[in-house]
Amino acid sequence: MVNERELLEQVKNGTLSVDDALLKLKTEPFADIGYAKVDLHRRLRQGAAEVIYGAGKTGEQIAGIAETMRAHGQSTVLITRLSPESAALVGARLPLTYHPEAKVGVVGEVPKPDGIGRIVLATGGTSDIPVAEEAALTAEVLGNEVLRLYDVGVAGLHRLLAHADDLMSASVIIAIAGMEGALASVIGGMADCPVIAVPTSVGYGASFGGVSALLSMLNSCASGVSVVNIDNGFGAGYLASRINHIRCSRD
**CATH code of the domain containing 228:** 3.40.50.1970
- Verify that 236 and 140 share a domain, yes or no: yes
139 against 72, higher pLDDT: 139
On whether both 78 and 164 belong to a single domain, the answer is no
Tell me: do 154 and 186 sit in the same domain.
Answer: yes
Alpha-carbon dihedral 227, 185, 121, 130, rounded to 10 degrees:
-70
- Whether residues 103 and 123 share a domain: the answer is no
Q: Domain check: are 195 and 89 in the same one?
A: no
Residue ending a domain, among 107, 128, 159, is: 107
The Cα 1–Cα 212 span in angstroms is 43
Q: What is the reported pLDDT for 249?
A: 47
pLDDT at 25: 66
Name which residue leads in pLDDT, 32 or 225. Answer: 225
Task: Return the pLDDT at 24.
Answer: 67
Q: What is the mean pLDDT of residues 227-245?
A: 96
Q: What is the pLDDT of residue 3?
A: 59
Q: How many domains does the chain have?
A: 2
Answer yes or no: do 57 and 151 share one domain: no
Percent of the chain with pLDDT over 70: 94
User: 227 and 194 in one domain?
Assistant: yes
**Tens-place pLDDT, residues 170-216:** 999 999 999 999 999 999 999 999 999 999 999 999 999 999 999 99
Check: CB of residue 115 under 8 Å from CB of residue 241: yes
* Mean model confidence pLDDT for the chain: 90
Q: Which range marks the domain in which residue 221 is found?
A: 118-250
Which of 60, 83, 107 terminates a domain? The answer is: 107
Question: Are 101 and 153 contained in the same domain?
Answer: no
Q: What is the pLDDT of residue 117?
A: 94
The pLDDT assigned to 36 comes to: 86
Report the predicted TM-score, pTM, of the whole model to 2 decimal places.
Answer: 0.85
Is the residue at 14 inside a domain?
Answer: no
Tell me if 139 sits within 8 A of 146, measured CB to CB: yes
Q: Could you tell me if 160 and 91 are in contact, meaning their C-beta atoms sit under 8 angstroms apart?
A: no
pLDDT band at 18 (very low <50, low <70, confident <90, very high): confident
Give the mean model confidence (pLDDT) for residues 119-129.
96
Domain boundary pick from 74, 107, 140: 107
Based on the fold, state whether residues 133 and 194 are members of the same structural domain.
yes
Residue 30 contacts by C-beta under 8 Å, 6 or more apart in sequence?
37, 38, 39, 40, 41
Q: Output the pLDDT for position 37.
A: 83
Amino acid 4: pLDDT: 65
Q: Do residues 41 and 139 both lie within one domain?
A: no
Determine, yes or no, domain membership for 161: yes
